[in-house]
Chain A
Amino acid sequence: MIREDITELEISLLLEAIYQKYEYDFRQYSKAHINRRIRNRMSLSGLEDVSQIQSKVLKDETFAHQLLQDLSITVTEMFRDQDFYRSLRENVIPILKTYPFIKIWHAGCATGEEAYSMAIILQEEGLYNRTTIYATDFNQQALNRAKEGIFSNAMMKEYTINYQLSGGKKSFSDYYTSNYDNVIMNQSLKKNIVWANHNLVTDSVFVEAHLILCRNVLIYFDNNLQNKVQKLFYEGLINGGILCLGTKRGFTVYRLF
């Protein structure tokens, strides 16, 4: 067996160990992605091979927590992919307007930037007061940050461009207050967002939503896991509900009848 094949075997044993000890299931994640994240961790922590990670992850909870952060991607942006948000405004909002109350499930919200983006659109379209956004993620650390709604001021220039290109109707700075290096999102945006820990791989459905958004999450899953999670979404939608799976600039909308 050549060295790379051994590494591959070690990685699959490591994922099994993480699942058995911590019940986080990365076994059906994209292998190239997991491989890269684990190599990164090895070089950051000065570890020689994957078996060393395994032994450390089982005995050292702080290290295990660190590795979970490595494997869960929390990189996100406000109004990421302007075409997606423009299309959301043009095609999905008119349908949502026909409901007396609206439930939205934002699955895999990470640090919350896109849930705030959604809240902004709903406010501008006059729908926010009758909406509840369930924003979920399995990464509690990311959720805690999302709940705070405090973001780096340095990002606001980029987000302002995103917001404008996506059809924003106001001045983006109306939605936050700057405080030195950070900004805090307006309290009014938070009031109808419910932040909850939910794992798409291991947990079941908890809501019947009018709209489910899940963006840049399924890209990390293999085909089997993608299918499984899509079934979960169908169960989580009302009749006529909408599923938005945006990858890249594209916009995939499924309406369930």
Chain B
Amino acid sequence: MTLAAPPAGETTPPELTLDDLVERHGDAVLRLACAMLRDRALAEDVFQDVFVRAFRSAETIRDPAAVRSWLLTVTANRCRDELRSWSRRHVSYVADVPEPDVRQDLGADSPDPGLALAVLDLPPRFREVILLHYYFELPVADVARVVGVSPVTVRTRLHRGRAALRGALAKEGSTDV
């Protein structure tokens, strides 16, 4: 499935297909969504939505160099929406709905997932920047663009996120932090 037809009169860029996009960036999108939402099924819903949006927004993402950043930005925004969406909030406040257990969805049987699981347990806004900076290896300026805040705010969150990680790891006694 062709993602974007080159506009008339412009230099023809390499044809980008939806399959290409999923192949190149699918795992990154799915992992960010899993980490943000801590729920595999929800993450797959977001994954689908992100790539459908990419398909429908082909005009705005013709620059291959910007595709990854665009996808991560939409994924992060979509996850934030999901965390506070109207439909999600319609879950029962009468029934006792168990919180999703991150260990059931991610790394349940992994040997000593210590730091990675500690990252997943961070509050969402810290988790987001820690993952984008350290896992996706984005510079602070790019993290700022993805999250939609200033670089100063990103550095503050990174600092506070690291502090929270130290506390969590020290509490578990997993390592000298």
Same complex for A and B? Answer no
Q: Which residues of B contact A (CB under 8 A)?
A: none
